[in-house]
Amino acid sequence: MIYIYLVVSAALIPILDNFFAILREPYSWWLVPVLFVSFFVGFIILQMAVFAITIAATDLNKEFNRRDRFFRFMIKISLPIIIAVARVKINAKGIDKLPKDTLSFFVCNHQHDFDPVIMLSVFPDANIGFIGKKEIYKTMPFIARGMHRINSLPIDRENNREAAKTIIKAIKTIESGVASIALFPEGYVSKSCELLPFRNGCFKIATKAKAPIAVCVINNTRQIPKNIFRRKTEVEFRLIDVIYPEKYADMSTAELGDLIHEEMQSELAEIRK
């Protein structure tokens, strides 16, 4: 979308030249770059304003039982701008392993609240919805509205019965073809960035929905708020494995969790070398 804005901004200059004689005067050469930059920045501001208004207008009481293609498109074209402004560079590898035209169950380690933004940027066409802590709806209502719009689900980590209801909803979300589901099986942000023990019950989502499990790792997102606007932050992202249902069919959730934990641990150690 950035390139389209650049082309349209450049095309508007000769169009204006036909209506305003001042642009043809020798002393007005400086107006051309000023107008070009103004048009370009204006398009970006307009896009981000539409994105923000769409999020703010989201009704948290409304169930989104289908894909919101317009909002997914807005995410796809807006997140690269947010990431660029935050001066984040994503080094992604293994993305081509993700199966096409199939909803998946994504799992990843968790280092910072920025992690979902990175995942949505890396997989812009995967229709990912997240399972996140219910506290987000109180502490970050604007973010919660955006998450709700992409079929994300809140989970009560302290209430097993309510957590089970969320897992059932997540299974139905995948089975009905509405969205892929992503979560962080550690359950909490790792402030030390070391991989925490998993809550293996979450893997029931994959086993019941019979969905491929996309095993991902992320590293260095905790540096983003420290470096933001001041210096570039390089984030490493890897899709290290896709575990298909036929492979985990005879495994318990504990065995599946141990396998994935080991894969993540090994890959994180490799990245940090």
Q: Letter for the amino acid at 70? A: F
Name the region of 210 (left: φ>0; alpha: ψ -120 to 50; beta: rest): left
State residue 31's pLDDT score. Answer: 74
State residue 271's pLDDT score. Answer: 93
pLDDT averaged per 10 residues in sequence order, the chain, 273 residues: 85 72 65 85 95 93 79 94 94 95 95 95 95 89 93 88 92 94 93 93 95 97 90 96 95 96 96 88
pLDDT tens-digit series, residues 27-59: 666 677 888 899 999 999 999 999 999 999 998
The answer to whether 206 touches 62, Cβ cutoff 8 Å, is no
Q: Considering the entire predicted model, what is its pTM?
A: 0.89
Cα–Cα separations (whole angstroms), residue 3 to 7, 12, 40, 117, 123? 6, 14, 10, 22, 20
Looking at domain 90-272, its CATH superfamily turns out to be: Glycerol-3-phosphate (1)-acyltransferase (3.40.1130.10)
pLDDT tens-digit series, residues 66-75: 778 899 999 9
* Residues pairing with 238 in the sheet: 93, 217
Map out the domains of the chain as residue ranges.
Answer: 2-49, 90-272
Mean pLDDT, all residues of the chain: 91
What are the φ/ψ torsions at residue 67 (nearest 5 degrees)? -75, 130
Strand order in the sheet with 180-183: 88-93, 233-243, 213-219, 105-108, 180-183, 128-133, 153-155
